[in-house]
Structure 1
């Protein structure tokens, strides 16, 4: 492959990763809220979340491979795993590495969910909330399409839907937290002789 082909492939896989991981975050929030998507039963939403997570991870692997094999930028395998170690745009590439490392932790614990336990899995899985914006900032900072109309609108749309979904998630959690003490009080009052 030529360096130009790898450059185009890197740009394309980066944009696809943005869209796929955005949808994965949205589906993850829907699963947490026990939502159903497109008339699917709840287990269908969970299955779709898992399947798209694997597809997003595959595109991320392809995105990283294109960057490593492109001799123009000189990114090494070490740069992929160790944040801020690269000579090439260390801040922006380092943020991509941080996002990748966080997603790697989420992926590994998801694959080993039965062995690590639900509580550990959930704690690590929450890193996805940190990984998405860090990856977004990486793309905005290092992406050669940053500032083009299509990439600006794609980025704005992805940010808008994730912010809205996170807002719904936080509002749902706040409502549940307000209901819980009242429900506990009613239960305690009902148990009195």
Structure 2
């Protein structure tokens, strides 16, 4: 495969991953907080969360595969699983490796959720915040397009979306539901 094409595939897949991961995290947070779009059942939000996570997994495979195959960057298969070992931007690539390892843990525990139990699964799944932060930092430091105005705007929008989801997901209404209005006693006697 052409080296220039691999470079474009690596860049494009990385840029697609950030909004995909953002959507997965936002849906996960809102579902956990019992929030969802009006009129949509909870299972639909969960199904969308899972489907986007699977799509993101496919893009991760494309991203990692194209980076390893690209001869311009010095990233090997060992660098994919050993953090901070890469010759190409070792710190930022290492953050991506940590994110990938954490993603493997998130996926593995989700597949074994029934055997692990809800409490253990939630404990590991809570690391999704760390995963998102690592992914965002990796993109900002290792990505070639994330330093452009539009790359920074995309990263900022994704960070804001996750932060807003956290605020909405953690907030509880401070008001009680209003009781239905009662009829005045005079009218209640008239209808008997």
Distance 1:55 1:153 in 2: 23
Structure 2 counterpart of 1:13 = 13
Equivalent pair of 1:89/1:142 in contact (CA under 8 Å): yes
Q: 2:33, 2:170 within 8 Å by CA — same for their partners in 1?
A: no
User: Which residue is equivalent to 1:35?
Assistant: 35
Cα distance in 1 for partners of 2:66, 2:122 equals 32
Instruction: Flag structure 1 segments of 5+ consecutive residues without an equivalent.
Output: 177-193
Residue 142 (structure 2) aligns with: 142
Task: Kindly provide the CA deviation profile for residues 79-117 of structure 1, in whole angstroms up to 9, marking residues without a partner as x.
Answer: 111111112211000000011111110001101111222
TM-score by length of 2: 0.86
Q: Which residue of 1 aligns with 2:91?
A: 91
2:166 aligned residue: 166
Deviations 1:117-161 (CA, angstroms, capped at 9, x unpaired): 211111111111100011100100011112212212111111111
The CA deviation string for residues 44-103 of structure 1, in whole angstroms up to 9 with x for no partner, is 001111111111111111111110111111211111111111122110000000111111
C-alpha spacing 1:69/1:38, structure 2 compared with 1 (3 Å): farther
4+ runs of 1 displaced by more than 6 Å? none
5+ residue gaps, structure 2, are 175-192
- Looking at structure 2, the residues matched to 87 and 123 of structure 1 have their Cα atoms a distance apart, in angstroms, of 34
Task: State the aligned residue count.
Answer: 174
**Distance in 2, Cα, partners of 1:118 & 1:29:** 16
Q: Distance in 1 between matches of 2:39 and 2:7?
A: 39
Which of the two has higher C-alpha Rg? Answer: 2
Is the 1:103–1:127 contact (alpha carbons within 8 Å) kept by the matching residues of 2? Answer: no
Which protein is richer in helix relative to its size? 1
Aligned to 1:118: 118
